[in-house]
Amino acid sequence: MNWKHAILPAALVAIAATVFAQTAPKGITGPVKVAGGTIQGVAGTDKSITDFKGIPFAAPPVGNLRWRAPQPVVPWQGVRKADKFGNSCIQKLVYERKPWTYEFMAHNDIGEDCLYLNVYTPAKTSGEKLPVYMYIYGGGGVEGSSAVPVYDGEGLAKKGVIVVTPNYRLGIFASFVHPELSAEAPYHASGNYAILDVVAALQWIKANIAQFGGDPDKVTIGGQSAGSGQVTNLTASPLAKGLFRGAINESGVTIASGNNFAPITLAQAEQQGVAFAKAKGANSLADLRKLSWMEILDPLPAGPDGKAPTFRFGNVVDNYVLTASVADTYEQGKQNDVPRLAGLNKNDNSGPEPHPSITAAAFKEQAQKRYGDLTAAFLALYPAGSDDEAKTAYTEATWDYNRMNTYEWSLWRNKTAKTPVYTYFWDHALSGPDADKYGAFHTSEVPYVLNSLNMTTGRNITDADRKVADTVSSYWVNFIKTGNPNGAGLAHWPTTTEAPGMTMEIGDKNAPIPVAGSKEKFNFFEKYYTKK
């Protein structure tokens, strides 16, 4: 036998096997059986992660299911390849709206058929019982999608958690209320469909995540901006009880009353719904459902006064999804009490720029509107004798106001909560040509906490950025795994009760800092928030 030629095929087989091992997905790819049928995942950009995209978690809310609670998934035959995102929900697609550039916006197809979610798993087998993080996108309740590039879940999944990103309905399709809708619903109410969507996503996780190597009893929810509002809704809704064990709020908690904390009654919202239908020329719910989504969104005709009527639908206390306002639910100690991690960004709303243009006169006028009879005390602490002085005062006052807002929220929450809360102040400016202009702007922390900087474009991401992302995402992953962000190699992050008057500055610095610039400023805001 010619051993030289006999050995060659075996060597080629070994080489081929090595190449395949390097390129093939190393985890669960499927087929995986879930509610509705069987799906097949695909290797992620990182081959240690398997992506399952566009999984339906409810029936398409179209036709007679428009403005109804999510219904069971429509079964499919065969193996469904889960290799692309489902439709984003109805919204106006925008390429960019600075400071939010391409990677922060939705770009795929939109449609009412949009109740899909994505799973990013590092599990090798279905028995690993990994912690799960369900991340809820922001967008003011009128835009956003789980397909937004920076919401990619692979970066966190690489650190040992399963990431799930669901869609939820937006705008009027998420919140329309009408007497006929309330009459047809078995729970005798309408509206709150966005909340019902994220509850349905949690229920899907409870029933199906074990198939992906996840533990249905170790679910943490999180979200940013409007997504943070949805997190708060879930902590207040009896429908979500027992479906999660921790919650993360990015730029979206407040002690001040607002629509999220004091929604209107069902009866009030129903009358708005009747008026909207009349303005659309619809005499019934059936007429409204016959309209296309484009017709629903068409501008309303002007009335006799020459002005078009305006309608804004939001959360309603319906005695089903929300049995009371969020504030009342917490005051009564009836919330879903879980550990919380909550904070905001340095330039969330210190103006469109880190150092905004504002005159001394405008600053004093704003102060009067906000602080009323406390204005003189406020201006003594944040003097604005000139326009240049006003710019500094505006920035410092806004940072103190926002940090105190989160801190006071945590104290208010702690009155009835038995679980800890960790607060933060994000200070790192996202790299890019506009870094100096926009600073640590609203949403800019997302590619760091989700460890998804690789999904950004045109930003010249540095090793320093990657180090920040590795650190802050480790805090997030620790919290997802244990309900505590602390861990080996990380600066200690205290709870509100452990370090009164302090919050954790994260990003460029990782250390506790005072929530206000001085004791006098702290006392001023304590008095202000006590009055509110």
Q: How many whole angstroms separate alpha carbon 55 and alpha carbon 477?
A: 24
From CA 203, how far away is CA 77, in angstroms rounded? 23
Band of residue 21 on the pLDDT scale cut at 50, 70, 90: very low
**What secondary structure does DSSP assign to 250-307, as a single string?**
ES---SS--TTTSPEEHHHHHHHHHHHHHHTT-SSHHHHHHS-HHHHHSPPPP-TTS-
> What does the CA dihedral 142, 146, 148, 149 come to, rounded to 10 degrees?
170
- Output the pLDDT for position 350: 59
Residues belonging to the active site = 225
pLDDT category of residue 263 using cuts at 50, 70 and 90: confident
Nearest-angstrom CA–CA distance, 315 and 325:
9
CA 85/CA 149 separation, integer angstroms = 11
| Rounded distance between C-alpha atoms, residue 316 and residue 176, angstroms | 10
Model confidence at 167: pLDDT above 90: yes
pLDDT classification of 255: cutoffs 50, 70, 90? low
CB count in 10 Å sphere of residue 469: 23
Residue 532 has a pLDDT of 73
Phi, psi of 338 (to 5 degrees): -135, 160
User: Predicted confidence band at 264 (pLDDT cuts at 50, 70, 90)?
Assistant: confident
Q: Which pLDDT value is given to residue 37?
A: 97
In the numeric block, which tokens belong to residue 183?
Answer: 């009459």
Q: What is the pLDDT of residues 37-84, one digit of tens each?
A: 999 999 999 999 999 999 999 999 999 999 999 999 999 999 999 999
| pLDDT tier at 291, thresholds 50, 70, 90 | very high
Q: Residue 335 in contact with residue 416, Cβ under 8 Å?
A: yes
pLDDT for the residue 13: 36
How sure is the predictor about 15, in pLDDT bands with cuts at 50, 70 and 90? very low
pLDDT of residue 254: 77
Please give the share of the chain, as a percent, with pLDDT higher than 70.
Answer: 92
Residue 420 β-bridge partners: none
In this prediction, residues 155-159 reach a mean pLDDT of 98
Write the DSSP assignment of 109-171 as a string of letters: -B-S---EEEEEE--SSTT--EEEEEEE--STTTS--TTSGGG--HHHHTTT-EEEEE----T
CB of 309 within 8 A of CB of 274?
no
- Point out which residues pair with 110 in neighbouring strands: 88
Number of Cβ atoms within 10 Å of the Cβ of 324: 15
Cα separation, 47 vs 17, in Å, equals 15
List domains and CATH numbers for the chain: 20-102+112-263+316-331 (3.40.50.1820), 341-531 (3.40.50.1820)
Sequence-separated (6 or more) residues with CB below 8 Å from residue 499 = 512
**Distance (Å, rounded) from C-alpha 499 to C-alpha 315?**
34
Average pLDDT value for residue range 83-112: 96
Percent with pLDDT over 90 in the chain: 85
Question: In this predicted model, what pLDDT tens digit does every residue of 207-254 receive, in sequence order?
Answer: 999 999 999 999 999 999 999 999 999 999 999 999 999 999 999 887
Mean pLDDT value across residues 281-289: 95
Token pair 């967008």 in the structure block, residue: 139
For position 260, what pLDDT does the model report?
Answer: 44
Q: How confident is the model at residue 30 (pLDDT cuts 50, 70, 90)?
A: confident
Helices (H), 303-432: 326-331, 360-371, 375-381, 387-414
Q: What is the pLDDT of residues 380-402, one digit of tens each?
A: 999 999 999 999 999 999 999 99
pLDDT digits (tens, 9 = 90+) for 488-500: 999 999 999 999 9
pLDDT in the model for residue 357: 78
Q: Are 425 and 206 in contact (CB under 8 A)?
A: no
Instruction: Kindly list the distances between the CA atom of residue 280 and the CA atoms of 184, 289, 393, in Å, as whole numbers in the listed order.
Output: 21, 12, 48
Distance CA 93, CA 144 (A): 9
User: Side chain identity at 261, as an amino acid letter?
Assistant: F
Given a cut of 80, whether residue 4 has pLDDT beyond it is no
Residue 51 in tokens:
């992506």
Q: State the chain's mean pLDDT as an integer.
A: 91
- pLDDT reading at 329 higher than 90: yes
The two structure tokens encoding residue 159: 């650190």
Enclosing H/E stretch for 249: strand 246-250
In SS3 terms, 465-513 reads as HHHHHHHHHHHHHHHHHHCCCCCCCCCCCCCCCCCCCEEEEECCCCEEE
Provide the pLDDT confidence category of residue 309 given band limits of 50, 70 and 90: confident
| For residue 9, pLDDT beyond 50 | no
Mean local confidence (pLDDT), 398-413 = 94
> Do 215 and 131 form a contact (C-beta atoms < 8 A)?
yes
Mean pLDDT for the stretch of residues 301-310: 81
Question: What is the arithmetic mean of pLDDT over 312-325?
Answer: 93
pLDDT at 26: 63
Specify the range with the lowest mean pLDDT, choosing from 159-173, 357-371, 444-458.
Answer: 357-371
